[in-house]
Amino acid sequence: MTVLKRRLRRLVAPIGVALLGGGLVIAGVQSAHAADTLLSQGRPTIASSTENGGAPAAAAVDGNSTTRWGSAWADPQWLRVDLGSTATITSVQLQWETAYAKAFQIQTSPDGTTWTSIYNTTTGAGGNQTVNVNGSGRYVRMYGTQRGTTYGYSLFEFKVYGSLTNPPASDGPGYVMANPPVTGVVPSTYVPPPTNPATTHHEFQANCAVSRSNLPDDPIVFPNMPGASHSHTFMGNTTTNATTTLASLQSGGTACITPGDKTGYWMPTLLNGTNAVQPVGRQVIYYKSGVIDYTSVRPFPPGLRYVVGSPSATLDDFKNNPGAVEGFECGDSSFNWDIPATCPAGTQLNARLQAPSCWDGRHLDTPDHKSHMAYPVLGVCPNDHPVAVPMIEFKMAWPVSGDMSQVHFSSGRGYSFHYDVFNAWDVPTLAALTTHCINGGLQCDPRGFDQYKPDRGAALNENYELP
In a domain, 29, yes or no: yes
Indicate whether 132 and 279 sit together in one domain. Answer: no
Q: Which of 119, 140, 164 is the last residue of a domain?
A: 164
The CATH number assigned to the domain holding 160 equals: 2.60.120.260
Indicate whether 271 and 222 sit together in one domain. Answer: yes
Domain span including residue 158: 15-164
In a domain, 464, yes or no: no
Q: Which of 129, 164, 199 is the last residue of a domain?
A: 164
In 111-258, which residue ranges form alpha helices assigned H by DSSP? Answer: 246-250
Indicate whether 283 and 186 sit together in one domain. Answer: yes
**Contact 244/261 with Cβ under 8 angstroms?**
no
* Confidence at residue 1, expressed as pLDDT on a 0 to 100 scale: 40
Indicate whether 287 and 398 sit together in one domain. Answer: yes
* Confidence at residue 172, expressed as pLDDT on a 0 to 100 scale: 64
* Confidence at residue 85, expressed as pLDDT on a 0 to 100 scale: 83
Indicate whether 227 and 322 sit together in one domain. Answer: yes
Q: For the segment 55-114, what is each residue's pLDDT rounded down to a tens digit? A: 888 889 888 888 899 999 999 999 999 887 899 999 999 999 999 999 999 999 998 889
- How many other C-beta atoms are found inside a 10 Å radius of the C-beta of residue 15? 9
Q: For the segment 420-432, what is each residue's pLDDT rounded down to a tens digit? A: 999 999 999 999 9
Which secondary structure element, helix H or strand E, spans residue 186, and what is its range? none
**Contact 56/374 with Cβ under 8 angstroms?**
no
In a domain, 6, yes or no: no
Indicate whether 182 and 152 sit together in one domain. Answer: no
* Confidence at residue 170, expressed as pLDDT on a 0 to 100 scale: 53
Buried b (16+ CB within 10 A) or exposed e, 212-248: beebbbbbbeeeeeeeebebbbbbbbbbbbbebebeb
**Contact 43/58 with Cβ under 8 angstroms?**
no
Provide the CB-side half-sphere exposure for 446 (13 A, CA).
17
**Contact 381/374 with Cβ under 8 angstroms?**
yes
Indicate whether 282 and 404 sit together in one domain. Answer: yes
Q: Which of 114, 131, 164 is the last residue of a domain?
A: 164
The total number of structural domains in the chain stands at 2
In a domain, 130, yes or no: yes
Indicate whether 155 and 217 sit together in one domain. Answer: no
Residue among 334, 346, 384, 46 nearest 186 (CA) = 384
**Contact 141/80 with Cβ under 8 angstroms?**
yes
Q: What is the mean pLDDT of the chain?
A: 89
Indicate whether 340 and 418 sit together in one domain. Answer: yes
In a domain, 247, yes or no: yes
In a domain, 414, yes or no: yes
- Is the Cα torsion angle 175, 180, 186, 192 positive or negative in sign? negative
- The answer to whether the predicted template modeling score (pTM) of the entire model surpasses 0.85 is no
In a domain, 461, yes or no: no
Q: For the segment 337-385, what is each residue's pLDDT rounded down to a tens digit? A: 999 999 999 999 999 999 999 999 999 999 999 999 999 999 999 888 9
Indicate whether 155 and 192 sit together in one domain. Answer: no
Indicate whether 97 and 154 sit together in one domain. Answer: yes
Indicate whether 180 and 157 sit together in one domain. Answer: no
In this prediction, the residues of the chain whose per-residue pLDDT falls under 70 are: 1-35, 53, 167-173
* Confidence at residue 33, expressed as pLDDT on a 0 to 100 scale: 43
